[in-house]
Structure 1
């Protein structure tokens, strides 16, 4: 085989021949004006000319003389675009160009970014402007030009022409930039109002409601309001639709229509859906179980105590007991119940509202209420309420569960208690230096929260059992027993982390309930002592220091607690 030979001259020529010519060394030319100004405080800064969208900002040109020492490269910054031939930078928006220069590995880099003249908020409910003082010998930004730019960006609603003129004049007179000044605001939607009952008779104060001044109404409930046969009690006012809003770009923002709350009547009350009128069918006593649930029934007065002389009480009427319910006795009422004494280790079921002038006492005392519950004090025992709870004086070692808010008078005290509400808590004083810690839970489904506490307690017990096992047997003995304990720990831990406590969500869903928890708070008007455990939704924390006059809410983004002084 004969190999083809090449001359040395030919080979050297092939090795040294460049594949392509080096790029020519060009020089940059700025295509916008700048000027150094001093403001009223003699601070110097550089103002720049306003550039329009698509306008060239800099271009690379062949030098008239000797080429520059280093090659130049254009780098697009924020809101700029490099041309296809890489010799120009173009503005992508209307605004003010900012120049930046640096060298990197022997290359001079020219970067330009553009500060937006106009910015629209993410929700399109506002627009802002940034202005630089005009450059000498360059055209000033006029109202007409600015309106054209606003129109080009589809900003057409909520613009104040007077404010535009003021900002243009202010920037020019003060000779200093203006940043993010609001020039247009959208119109927020007006949500509709929910349906409600307008009472035609005086029902008196409803403790726990928020009054016009923002304070809580702690006046005593007016019990046993009498009504006559045929008397109109209330009229249902239908919900309103509300009014949609508008963004600064003219888009409609839908409103939330008012909720059509159901009306419930029972016993001797009648509701006409067409007219919305509720009237009494017989003479009787009005029981307002909730703001949309009405009963009319008779009234029964039981003088003295509930004891062996009376036996257990089961009544279809509203009931007034002038004495005390003694231990072991049961009282069940279909209407409201007014107890002027105490409930001592008793069992109470009230399908209306409950008012206890005295207190609820004893570990074995169990109380269930379909409406609101209002009492002076509670020591031990368990209270389950579908409406609101009003605590006048104190609650010690008590378990209180409510679907509505739990409100305490400012001078009251919660000690070593467990308070659970699907809504918010508004409390007086919580804890003391020497008592066991209290547990306060808001924005939770009480039934799920009890399950959560049970799982947490079981987990703690099994972990303690595993620790004792390891200390006694180590890792190599009775391996099957150890594996069983570890499997139980893992199962309980999974159950604990998966359980969703927020009302209205599925118990095992990942729904964070952001909208529901937005209005939930734990408010303490007096002092809350360190060590108190707080729960809002699925988040928990321990109060680290004694605090006075504080509100706890949940950050909807991070899920962490926020403390706000009252």
Structure 2
């Protein structure tokens, strides 16, 4: 908006939040508008809010000609604050085992379980705070962005009060806050080993086993699972967290699957998959996947052999072994995305091999046809081979395009790192995103991370 009256010009910013004036010089520079005249002039030109009277007086006193001067400013709106939750229990107790003075790790006293009583208050919704209106220099009101009410994280065995803003437990049990929901699980206790005397265990709530889980058996819980002894070649599945106080000796047959965290003393010859974090003192010759952080602590802090995948970070003392045991580590991307990347590469290789063989068959059959030795069976084979070649020729570029898209995603998401508080031995391969680093010599006290298309090794700080 631009208007001129005599030798005074008003300019307003496109968002109408600032107004400027320019007072042009005249034949008689002794004439200068008064404060009242300037304010009236601004009002006549639509400037009715945020006028800086103090600045106008300075302009008049100093007779400031031919300068664009900011004389009015609007007020920006203040957005409202979203609602929040007030929790009345410990949301996430620290599942990190305590390292004792002698360097051992205490996996017995983790105090992960928090019990609640029926009717106990668990959380309250705090309402959103309103915002404040803004106003332009032309007097137009600017509405703020209002805060959004919080959604109550209602899960299993939870009730909502009449006030509709408080959640309470509907049963006695153990409270859990996982993946955006509060649940209260009933408890099932087994005071002996899981063996032929108990059979497999399946329970909707939390399970505590005060013994071992023997090979061939299965324990499945909708909530958390706590095992005081050793897990052999068994299957353990939890909708919550898994705590195994002694460890997992899987003999290649153990499957430990958690929708939350997994904490155990050691994992050996096992298959382990946690949606969130995994903590242990040693992991040996296993296939391990975790969505966030894998932490090896205690005196050993050992990670050796097998295939290890972590979404964000791996921290250990010793990775690999002096015997150059093959240890494959992947970090910094979702396991699902990396699985897609690997699957596409394998499929492309398979199709390329198929194309090569099909082309060889076609070349041989074409020679038969050139020599008038092509029988009806061979004609049919040639027709099928040509169709197969056409399929390969069209499908391979499609898969390569998909592979490039996934590779770009891997590179964008590859912000993971590996922290070593001791040594990484040769025989270890480290993949961050789509970039692989083969360890050729001992790496001591270092951090590995991706920088562009390279993996950097920096001293540990």
TM-score, normalized by the shorter chain, greater than 0.5: yes
Q: How does 1:337-356 map to 2 (within 5 A)?
A: 337-356=225-244
Look up the match of 2:257.
368
**Residue 227 of structure 1: CA displacement?**
0.5
**Distance (whole Å) between structure 2 residues aligned to residue 239 and residue 344 of structure 1:** 51
Look up the match of 2:427.
531
Relative to structure 1, the CA distance from residue 376 to residue 307 in structure 2 (aligned partners, 3 Å threshold; closer, same or farther) is same
Runs (4+) of structure 1 moved beyond 6 Å?
A: 192-196, 237-242, 257-262, 272-275, 458-467, 476-481, 487-494
CA-based RMSD: 4.5
**Residue 435 of structure 1: CA displacement?**
4.4
Look up the match of 2:49.
none
CA contact (8 A) 2:246 2:264 kept: yes
Query: Does residue 1:201 correspond to 2:89, yes or no?
Result: yes
**Residue 512 of structure 1: CA displacement?**
6.2
Q: Of residues 159, 183, 194 in structure 2, which corresponds to 1:270?
A: 159
Relative to structure 1, the CA distance from residue 511 to residue 225 in structure 2 (aligned partners, 3 Å threshold; closer, same or farther) is closer
**Distance (whole Å) between structure 1 residues aligned to residue 428 and residue 338 of structure 2:** 17
Q: Of residues 328, 348, 353 in structure 1, which corresponds to 2:216?
A: 328
> What number of residue pairs does the alignment pair up?
342
| CA displacement, residues 183-227 of structure 1 (integer Å, 9 cap, x when unaligned) | xxxxxxxxx999875542346732259xxxxxxx99864233111
**Distance (whole Å) between structure 2 residues aligned to residue 339 and residue 367 of structure 1:** 12
Partner-residue secondary structure (3-state), 1:278: strand
Choose 1 or 2 for highest CA Rg.
Answer: 1
CA contact (8 A) 2:126 2:150 kept: no
CA contact (8 A) 1:347 1:365 kept: yes
CA contact (8 A) 2:292 2:313 kept: yes
Look up the match of 2:313.
424
Query: Does residue 1:499 correspond to 2:403, yes or no?
Result: yes
CA contact (8 A) 2:331 2:433 kept: yes
**Residue 332 of structure 1: CA displacement?**
1.0
| CA displacement, residues 119-160 of structure 1 (integer Å, 9 cap, x when unaligned) | xxxxxxxxxxxxxxxxxxxxxxxxxxxxxxxx99x9xxxxxx
Partner-residue secondary structure (3-state), 2:182: strand
**Residue 381 of structure 1: CA displacement?**
2.2
Look up the match of 2:337.
448
The answer to which structure, 1 or 2, has the higher relative contact order (CA under 8 A, 6+ apart) is 2
**Distance (whole Å) between structure 2 residues aligned to residue 540 and residue 304 of structure 1:** 46
Q: Of residues 197, 200, 208 in structure 2, which corresponds to 1:312?
A: 200
**Residue 258 of structure 1: CA displacement?**
11
CA contact (8 A) 2:125 2:150 kept: no
CA contact (8 A) 2:324 2:428 kept: no
Relative to structure 1, the CA distance from residue 510 to residue 356 in structure 2 (aligned partners, 3 Å threshold; closer, same or farther) is same
Partner-residue secondary structure (3-state), 1:399: strand
Partner-residue secondary structure (3-state), 1:401: strand
**Distance (whole Å) between structure 2 residues aligned to residue 202 and residue 495 of structure 1:** 48
**Residue 528 of structure 1: CA displacement?**
1.2
Q: Of residues 453, 457, 460 in structure 2, which corresponds to 1:563?
A: 457
Question: Any stretches of 5+ residues in structure 1 without a counterpart?
Answer: 1-150, 155-191, 210-216, 243-256, 501-506
Query: Does residue 1:382 correspond to 2:382, yes or no?
Result: no
**Residue 433 of structure 1: CA displacement?**
2.4
Relative to structure 1, the CA distance from residue 203 to residue 508 in structure 2 (aligned partners, 3 Å threshold; closer, same or farther) is closer
Q: Which has the higher helix share?
A: 2
Relative to structure 1, the CA distance from residue 434 to residue 513 in structure 2 (aligned partners, 3 Å threshold; closer, same or farther) is closer
Q: Of residues 536, 545, 550 in structure 1, which corresponds to 2:446?
A: 550
Query: Does residue 1:541 correspond to 2:437, yes or no?
Result: yes
**Distance (whole Å) between structure 2 residues aligned to residue 531 and residue 260 of structure 1:** 53
**Distance (whole Å) between structure 1 residues aligned to residue 433 and residue 199 of structure 2:** 43
| CA displacement, residues 289-339 of structure 1 (integer Å, 9 cap, x when unaligned) | 35x332102111101111111111111221100111111111111111101
Q: How does 1:13-28 map to 2 (within 5 A)?
A: none
Question: Any stretches of 5+ residues in structure 2 without a counterpart?
Answer: 1-66, 71-79, 98-104, 132-145, 367-381
**Distance (whole Å) between structure 1 residues aligned to residue 256 and residue 158 of structure 2:** 26
Partner-residue secondary structure (3-state), 2:245: strand
**Residue 240 of structure 1: CA displacement?**
9.8
Partner-residue secondary structure (3-state), 2:95: coil
| CA displacement, residues 226-265 of structure 1 (integer Å, 9 cap, x when unaligned) | 11122122345689999xxxxxxxxxxxxxx999996643
